[in-house]
Amino acid sequence: MSVVNRIRILVISFVLLSLNQVAVSAESAPRIQTWKTDNGAKVLYVYAPQLPMVDLRIVFDAGSARDGKQAGLANMTSTMLSKGAGDWDTDALAERFDSVGAVFSTSAMRDMASLSLRSLNDQKLLDKAVLTLQTVLTQPRFDNKELARMRRQMLIALKAQLQSPGAIANKMFYRALYGRHPYASPSLGTKDSIKTITRKDLRAFYKRYYVAGNALIAIVGDVDLRQAKQLANKLIGKLPKGQPAPALAPVAALKKAEVLRKTYPSTQTHVLVGQPGLRRGDADYFALYVGNHILGGSGFGSRIMKEIREKRGLAYSSYSYFIPMRGLGPFQMGLQTSNDQRDEALALLNKILRNFIKEGPTEKEMQQAIKNITGGFPLRIDSNKDIIGYIAMIGFYDLPLNYLETFNANVEAVTAAKVQDAFRRRIHPDRLVTVLVGGNAPQKNVK
């Protein structure tokens, strides 16, 4: 899979994560068991015997928030893990996973750096896949030749972003939202920063962050508790204990409104509006989550979709969402519209938000949202893929183990007044970042 393609997919799955995985809850939540390995890694495990397969995910607090002065360092480290490890070069590693039908991938987001493996639970096949994963985890080579190749790949991936007005807007948005905070660091790095990343930097980053004390292991599948414990030990037992990553600096609130414009030769303008918004485990989490569902998080029927798309046909996609992270992740509203409709759509988006904060949701909207969220609970956990996503999140962000069981009750406890109160305190329409990337159209009065 090419870097260019992989990155496109990553960006998309990130959005999905925020839309779907934000919410979960009750009746028949999977039973999560947890323990620590001898060297201090936290393990979360769900026994799922229905299919003869197993999903493994190892997550380190080693995302791009840890880049330091070298943007792209976390992503490059994560990418380089599978480019040669132990006795095996890149080709041999790929061959080992493919030959047993295993699916392996790595990813680095802002908070998390993850390694994921899906394999059949047939002992011979699983053993080969797990030994390969263990080697990738514990003995990466960070080979210089491969590093040089991956640097060139990353430069192409960066160029690919430059021919996507949506990707350009997104980068500008993060930069404006986070200023000097590590969340501002572009995950892929920059043209200049990528060139400075050396083998020594990768090794130092790996030694600091890829340690048991900074790791979370999630296991879902047809392996019993004893096997799960063996798996966890085998995978990570050889890593030093190390230290958890230090706390990130708090995200500063925006001091004033800012409008960023970039001309791009596209027929549409990409519009993003937002501010730092929500943490995992935040006291306002459920109020903001349910409120956003009504504002623009639930597609058809949400206020933004109704006004922008259904009533006026201004855009195909229009939304709002929170991306809850370790620190305050973004609150973001967005749409794409013909350049000549840009000002009208932006004004409307801002008006919808202001009205929502001023008036709060109606009782009817609250009832509908709560019914939709809680009624859909079984759909959120109907596959191993969903379940591993949830338990990795619960473990990584130290959410309570009964997060899923209590989810529906937490949603039902939200009232219109709580939504309005939370939005009033947390979202500031007079201090938002606005990013506009698209073709030139005469600028009308944007208020």
Residues 269-288 touching other proteins, rule: CB under 8 A, are: none
**Which residue in 10, 114, 187 sits closest to 389, CA to CA?**
114
8 A C-beta contact, residue 313 and residue 261: no
The Cα-based distances of 426 to 2, 277, 357 in angstroms read: 40, 7, 10
Of positions 68, 127, 144, 156, contacts other proteins by CB under 8 A: 156
8 A C-beta contact, residue 277 and residue 328: yes
The Cα-based distances of 267 to 161, 313, 336, 337 in angstroms read: 17, 16, 10, 8
Residue 371, H or E segment: helix 363-375
What are 80's two structure tokens? Answer: 């380089």
Question: Is 66 or 141 the residue whose CB approaches other proteins more closely?
Answer: 141
Residue 75 touching other proteins (CB under 8 A): no
Angle between helices 144-162 and 199-209 (to 10 degrees): 90
Of positions 2, 144, 362, 402, contacts other proteins by CB under 8 A: 2
Residue 17 touching other proteins (CB under 8 A): no
Question: Is 385 or 425 the residue whose CB approaches other proteins more closely?
Answer: 385
d(CA 402, CA 338): 46
Residue 331 touching other proteins (CB under 8 A): no
d(CA 407, CA 405): 6
Give residues 207-266 in contact with other proteins (rule: CB under 8 A).
256-266
Residue 57: strand pairing partners: 116, 218
Question: Is 211 or 254 the residue whose CB approaches other proteins more closely?
Answer: 254
8 A C-beta contact, residue 360 and residue 416: yes
Question: Is 66 or 118 the residue whose CB approaches other proteins more closely?
Answer: 118
Distance of CA 72 to the CA centre of its chain: 16
Give residues 79-98 in contact with other proteins (rule: CB under 8 A).
90-91, 94-95, 97-98
Of positions 65, 112, 172, 271, contacts other proteins by CB under 8 A: 172
| Residue window 362-401: x/- pattern of binding to other proteins, with contact defined by CB under 8 A | ------x--xxxxxxxxx-xxxxx----------------
| Residue window 20-59: x/- pattern of binding to other proteins, with contact defined by CB under 8 A | --------x---------------------xxxx------
Residue 300 touching other proteins (CB under 8 A): yes
DSSP state of 56: E
Of positions 4, 17, 131, 399, contacts other proteins by CB under 8 A: 4
Considering only the stretches 39-47, 207-215, 298-306, 352-360, report the one whose residues sit in contact with other proteins under the rule CB under 8 A. 298-306
Least CB distance to other proteins at residue 61 (A): 26
What are 272's two structure tokens? Answer: 């993003």
**Which residue in 92, 198, 203 sits closest to 150, CA to CA?**
198
What pairing do the DSSP bridges indicate for beta strands 318-322 and 329-338? antiparallel
Of positions 315, 352, 357, 416, contacts other proteins by CB under 8 A: 315
Of positions 57, 280, 309, 426, contacts other proteins by CB under 8 A: 309
Question: Is 245 or 273 the residue whose CB approaches other proteins more closely?
Answer: 273
Residue 312 touching other proteins (CB under 8 A): yes
Question: Is 93 or 108 the residue whose CB approaches other proteins more closely?
Answer: 93
Give residues 101-130 in contact with other proteins (rule: CB under 8 A).
101-103, 118-120, 122, 125
How many CA atoms within 13 Å lie on the side-chain side of 77? Answer: 32
**Which residue in 215, 218, 279, 237 sits closest to 62, CA to CA?**
215
What are 255's two structure tokens? Answer: 């001091």
8 A C-beta contact, residue 362 and residue 416: yes
Least CB distance to other proteins at residue 316 (A): 4
Question: Is 37 or 90 the residue whose CB approaches other proteins more closely?
Answer: 90
Give residues 405-434 in contact with other proteins (rule: CB under 8 A).
none
Least CB distance to other proteins at residue 36 (A): 28
Q: How many residues bind other proteins (CB under 8 A)?
A: 92
Question: Based on the number of CB atoms within 10 Å of its own CB, is 290 exposed (0-12), middle (13-18) or buried (19 or more)?
Answer: buried
